[in-house]
Structure 1
Amino acid sequence: MSKQYQVLAVVISLFLLFPPSAYSAKSDDATLVLGVISTNPKKAVKRTTPFAKYLVSQLQDHGVTQSKVMVATNLEQMVRWMKAGKVDMVSDTVFSAVTLVNEAGAELLARRWKSGVAEYSSVFFSRQDSEIQSFDQLLGKTVVFEDRYSTSAYFVPVIMLLEQGFTLYEQASLRDMPPADSIGYVFVDEISSSSGEVNMSAWVFNGQAAAAAFSNLDWEKEIPPAMRQELEIFASSIAIPRALQVARPGLTVELKQALTEVMLSAHLDEQGQEALSQYKKTAQFDELDQAVQNSIDWVEKAAPLLEQLY
């Protein structure tokens, strides 16, 4: 047999022994891959690696011997990675988690107390002397949001407005006033060199905008006390999870169960506490109870309303 036919015979033998269906999208099933969506890969990897290593240390009996962190630049890329089986688990906001479940077939595992917080809500606020007490009093006026990808400072408050049937008008600037039958809005990070909650609050405080919306946590921590005394909250959303853990489709039931058990108990031992602390100050993970599920259901039902804005 010629050398060419010998090589062909070997290739055919390998194909018969290991057909294409035998190969998973991951080259090494012993490697646990955690996915992160971030525009700062270096920081994301640094924050996530200690937690990934802790999981490996607790999953040796399940054949997991090493870990890897993969950073996607956007949600669309992470959906593709999870569908292809390249990433085993992702932690992200409730909107991203719901998208991964619906578009990538991911499965919810647990709630993450990111930055030490289990849940938060969005609040709308205005000046106390503006007498704005309801959304209909925002018609013909301007609301300030943070950026196009913020859960608490855009997605949730916009859904609250759309659910009640209001028409929204994106302004090019604060001087571009909305029609009298619409609620105008701007993004602080797009029209100002000084973004953030303090700047948003200052625009309301100074009368440049009628209202602003961001998380109740930022309301309590970010606004200077002297400024907050002149402002008041007039609407709040339901509480939503700070972050959720989701697993890729195709991950074995045994490994998903083991992952969940390790996460739920991580805060109970010293090694786990240290790993969680480095994982963006995560306090713990807990189970998805009915209250959490109700908030997830609300997001899943209401999220399609956002399509009206695109």
Structure 2
Amino acid sequence: MNTKRLMSILSICIGLLASQTAIARTLVIGTISDEPVKEIRTFLPFTKYLAQQLEPMGFSDGKVVIARDIDHMASLIRSGQIDLFVDSPLVALAINKKAGSRLLVTRWKKGVAEYHSVIFVRQKSGIASVSDLVGRVVTFEESFSSSGHLLPRIAMAEMGIQFSQMDSPQSRLAPDETGFVFSGDDENTIEWVLRGRTDAGAMSMDNFKKRVGPNKDELTIILRTDAIPRHVISISSEITNQLAGEIETALVTMNQSEDGLAVLGAFERTTKFDAFSKEILVTLERLQDPVTDLVGND
């Protein structure tokens, strides 16, 4: 083989390699957290594994991006910096509305497929139903919590409750309104209700069972909401339908291999990913407008 022909072949090979490198891309998965270092460590093995499964579709690596809040996440998605994001379903609905992204699959986080929220009061409070909370104060966890705020608040609003946010449980409240405050976490919520600082609290049924402990007989549940998925993955509108289908297939089949199961187990004890059922989609569609009203659509 003469030198000229060898150089020609080498040029073609280098060109093909450069072309392949140019089209290779990094899969970027996002979530919201105030502990970015911890969250990146949790998400990165899962992200890299998924990118590896999608190598035939042009992905060469995986990266995790942490957003500060809902608006920050929506901004990152709109600017094309995030391909997929993982969060609770109502937060996902709020982000999807702002960013044009869409639901892809449900996630069985910590082995749980779905959950519902509860409103609870002190057993001897004289409060027997949601309507009795008019003129009273409800404790929610934090503003972007699906189980500790959005879901139970929407359920109560659908029953006619008009809410007014208060600076503290002792703030003045109109007699025809129901006040609410944020406690910061579920332990505070239970403690505030038990001590009579507030009249009612909200959280997921699972968390209520875990945290109520020896105080079980002192509290009673007056409302259980509809069930929604424990967690979901949404996908950017920049992702084509064909690629979205490949990503969905990679996710829902992860639990069918030993390597996939190991990655799932390390990812906050995720059991598997599932396609959305028609019933769940109908429920989430009904919740879309109320979530948008609460979170805003700036």
TM value normalised by structure 2: 0.86
Native 8 Å contact 1:163 1:302 kept in 2: no
The residue that corresponds to 1:233 in the other structure is: 221
Where in structure 2 are the equivalents of 1:1-40 lying within 5 Å? 29-40=24-35
Paired letter, 1:111 = T
Correspondence for 2:193: 204
Question: Could you tell me the percent identity over the aligned residues?
Answer: 31
**Among candidates 268, 275, 279, match of residue 287 of structure 1:** 275
Q: Which residue in 1 is equivalent to 2:14? A: none
- Provide closer, same or farther for how the CA distance between residues 305 and 69 of structure 1 changes in structure 2, counting only shifts above 3 A: closer
Q: Which residue of 2 aligns with 1:151?
A: 146
Aligned to 1:72: 67
Q: Please state how far the C-alpha of 1:282 moved relative to its aligned partner.
A: 1.3
String of CA shifts for 1:183-209, please: whole Å, max 9, x gaps. 1222123xxxxxx32332222223232
How is 1:178-197 mapped onto 2 (pairs within 5 angstroms)? 178-189=173-184, 196-197=185-186
CA distance in 1, matches of 2:102, 2:176: 41
What SS does structure 1 have at the residue aligned with 2:232? strand
Q: What one-letter code is carried by the residue in structure 2 that aligns with 1:228?
A: K
- Output the CA distance in 2 between the equivalents of 1:107 and 1:176: 40
Between the aligned partners of 1:28 and 1:47, the Cα distance in structure 2 is: 28
Q: Deviations over 1:47-87 (max 9, x none)?
A: 11111111122122222121111112122122122122221
Tell me the amino acid that sits aligned with residue 192 of structure 2. Answer: W
**Residue 214 of structure 1: how far off its partner (Å):** 0.8
Checking the alignment, whether the CA contact within 8 Å between 1:174 and 1:209 is kept in structure 2 is yes
- How far the C-alpha of 1:35 sits from its partner, in A, is 1.3
Which residue, 77, 83, 90 being the options, matches 1:95?
90
Separation in 2 of the partners of 1:122 and 1:58?
Answer: 36
| Residue segments in structure 2 that go unaligned for 5+ positions in a row | 1-21
The one-letter code matched in structure 1 to 2:204 is S
- Mapping of 1:47-86 within 5 angstroms? 47-86=42-81
Q: Aligned pairs, how many?
A: 275
Q: Deviations for 1:250-272, whole angstroms, at most 9, x for unmatched residues?
A: 21223211110111011121111
Tell me what 1:131 maps to: 126
Q: What one-letter code is carried by the residue in structure 1 that aligns with 2:231?
A: A
> Against the structure 1 CA distance between its residues 208 and 84, is the aligned structure 2 distance closer, same or farther, given a 3 Å change threshold?
closer
Between the aligned partners of 2:48 and 2:292, the Cα distance in structure 1 is 37
CA distance in 1, matches of 2:215, 2:127: 17
Distance in structure 1 (CA, Å) of the matches to 2:40 and 2:23: 20
Bigger shift: residues 119-128 or 294-303: 294-303
In the TM superposition, residue 29 of structure 1 has moved relative to its aligned partner by 4.6
Q: Give, in whole Å, the separation in 2 of the partners of 1:186 and 1:197.
A: 13
Distance 1:260 1:135 in 2: 40
CA RMSD of aligned residues (A): 1.9
SS state at 2:59 partner: coil
CA deviations over 1:84-124 (Å, ceiling 9, x no partner): 22211111121222133222221221001122211111100
Match for residue 254 of structure 1? 242
Structure 1 pair 205–45 and aligned structure 2 pair: CA distance change class (3 A): same
What secondary structure is seen at the aligned counterpart in 2 of 1:126? strand
In structure 2, give the amino acid aligned to 1:243.
H
CA–CA distance in structure 2, aligned partners of residues 97 and 78 of structure 1: 10
Q: Is the 8 A contact 2:97 2:292 kept in 1?
A: no
**How many angstroms does 1:300 deviate by?**
0.5
Change (3 A) 1:156 1:62: same
Range 153-162 or range 94-103, more displaced: 94-103
Native 8 Å contact 1:106 1:246 kept in 2: yes
**Unmatched 5+ stretches in structure 1:** 1-26, 190-195
Partner of 1:220: 209
Q: Which letter does structure 2 place at the counterpart of 1:233?
A: I
Give CA-to-partner distance per residue, 1:127-154, whole Å, 9 cap, x none: 2222312122112211111122211111
Distance apart, 1:293 and its partner CA: 0.5
Q: Is the 8 A contact 2:94 2:295 kept in 1?
A: no
Summarize the Cα distance change of 1:28–1:98 in structure 2 as closer, same or farther, 3 Å threshold. farther
Partner Cα distance (1:29, 1:300) in 2: 36
For residues 98 and 29 of structure 1, the distance between their equivalents in structure 2, rounded to whole angstroms, comes to 30
State the alpha-carbon separation in 1 of the partners of residues 159 and 192 from structure 2: 25
